[in-house]
Structure 1
């Protein structure tokens, strides 16, 4: 056996066991291959045979063994190259992040262009810094700066940031009262689940598209639901319409669902939530139920909104239901299914605020 441990069987076995142990723990494929080279070396294989086994050239295998003999396992640690000098300074890179995040191309001289592309960013860098860079170089910089090519989302322009921050403070105070003065903290909302909702990407044969049949109608199932922030419980009802009478009936049902303890329900400013019809009921139950309204135009602060997106992506998108009753059945199956794992609901919907 041609290695430095040939004359000491005990030491050799210790090294082999050490390598086997660390190979089980590592998740780095390249490091695993380096450990494997040394393991086969310690087991007596020649450099030529090891090179064939691990698909490396003999010179590389020799370097690994040499480094291991000199420094042990530390000699196998990969050294990361610092790479070529950066063409842009940190301040210039910060300007890229600032401009891409807060401006559109037409605001900085690219007429009739609203969306940033790598080529437009490259042209902006050339124009602003007088530094020529390749398409690939810009791509690498954007990736390193944690910028990505993503689809924007719409937000309501009228949202009042100050009121949103005030609500967040209120919400933090409410959370501290759970299991004390406050027994249940609920988020409420309504949603229309249509018989066909949307198309989303899915795996299919290359060059072809999956075809989803539809009647081209706009019928749907009207839902009113709550998300229990503390327990992860979801409760939904189906109704034929949305009005104050239906909403009052729903609130009565919630009191039945939670027969004891103070309830705070967070909800948006829909007209039915402010109806005068509700005033006698709310006054009668003021010690049991309190409504806390979100700031106007702030759906992202209503955690149950995430439930509707989850539901649609699971059972509606890319699906076809021949009747509304089938949609209703699918919705209830989904609600029943996720209520079996409330911790998943909490992790998915309740932790983000």
Structure 2
């Protein structure tokens, strides 16, 4: 069997557990007894015997723990599917309220005859692919049918918007939106000692700034402006930013919502830019909304600002950090329905 440098492996491996095993074998290789090794590393002699035996039988692979599947589910496959269907149907209620662990615990007991402890219900839910997450608000007038139709005909809308000599392969898809950041800031979840409730200062002042942001899911480019207010002239200037960053032989199609300053004539004097409006009440169709959440979670939440300039500096730093990784931009904002080349 090939002789390995266990001392070096013990220094470089990321896993503390594996470093301990490599250290034991390094001492064994040097001729120390298994009893001495166990005392020195403060582990049982049985563990040392096991590691040495596993290495002799299978080499380095023998030292790696095998993945375990855990205890099998008490529910049959059919029962698991029935439970998943029940949760999907009852997760939200038009009359208000939500499913909680005790509801699912009762459903399992009544329908399958299994008595689950509440903590076991939560483990079961995770194994079935569910998480306890915050729901997203939607407008009462929102139409899922209209949203699906928009996705299906997005390619046709693009063809109708771009000049006739431009092929779909020469089109860059941009997503655009504005977000307000300021002293009336958000607080977010954070890691802290169990049982504690960390305090985060929430300012009462009203200074704020608007971030006009755009990202290109075709190549990961981005453009942004931070301004004290919003209007059509600023929006037009922002579109010119996108125009100047678009290659000469390409055309930019910009997806945006129907805000009052997003007028139909915004890009009439910009030859290489076209605008496609989202259906009403459909912010989730614009993935740049996730960028605003990312900026808040990673940089802008749970903090105070001295004034407008302080807000602008913080927003610029946050945006620059986000766009520093073009692959992150593309991965976070790309959706299958945006693919123009089938």
Asked if residue 65 in structure 1 is aligned to residue 62 in structure 2, the reply is no
Shift of 1:292: 1.3
Q: Per-residue CA shift, 1:297-322, capped at 9, x if unaligned?
A: 22122233233333334453222224
Asked if residue 312 in structure 1 is aligned to residue 296 in structure 2, the reply is yes
Asked if residue 151 in structure 1 is aligned to residue 134 in structure 2, the reply is yes
What does residue 139 of structure 1 align with? 122
Tell me, what secondary structure is at the counterpart of 1:131?
coil
Match of 1:214 among 203, 214, 217: 203
Contact in 2 for aligned 1:40/1:50 (Cα 8 Å) = yes
TM alignment of 1:229-240, pairs within 5 A: 229=217, 230-240=219-229
Shift of 1:127: 1.1
Residue-pair matches, total: 326
List alignment gaps of at least 5 residues for structure 2: 160-165, 337-342
Shift of 1:161: 3.6
Larger radius of gyration: 1
Match of 1:302 among 286, 290, 305: 286
TM alignment of 1:113-192, pairs within 5 A: 114-156=97-139, 158-168=141-151, 180-182=169-171, 184-192=172-180
TM alignment of 1:273-352, pairs within 5 A: 273-274=262-263, 278=265, 282=268, 284-285=269-270, 287-336=271-320, 338=322, 341-343=324-326, 346-347=329-330, 349-351=332-334
Q: Per-residue CA shift, 1:164-202, capped at 9, x if unaligned?
A: 345445667979x899533x4322222222322211234
For the aligned residues, what is the CA RMSD? 4.0
List alignment gaps of at least 5 residues for structure 1: 1-10
Contact in 1 for aligned 2:215/2:222 (Cα 8 Å) = yes
Contact in 2 for aligned 1:41/1:47 (Cα 8 Å) = yes
**Structure 1 pair 105/37, CA: closer, same or farther in 2 (3 Å)?**
same
Contact in 1 for aligned 2:202/2:302 (Cα 8 Å) = no
Shift of 1:129: 0.9
TM-score, normalised to structure 1's length? 0.73
Tell me, what secondary structure is at the counterpart of 1:264?
strand
**Structure 1 pair 45/337, CA: closer, same or farther in 2 (3 Å)?**
closer
**Structure 1 pair 102/27, CA: closer, same or farther in 2 (3 Å)?**
farther
Contact in 2 for aligned 1:196/1:320 (Cα 8 Å) = no
Contact in 2 for aligned 1:196/1:321 (Cα 8 Å) = no
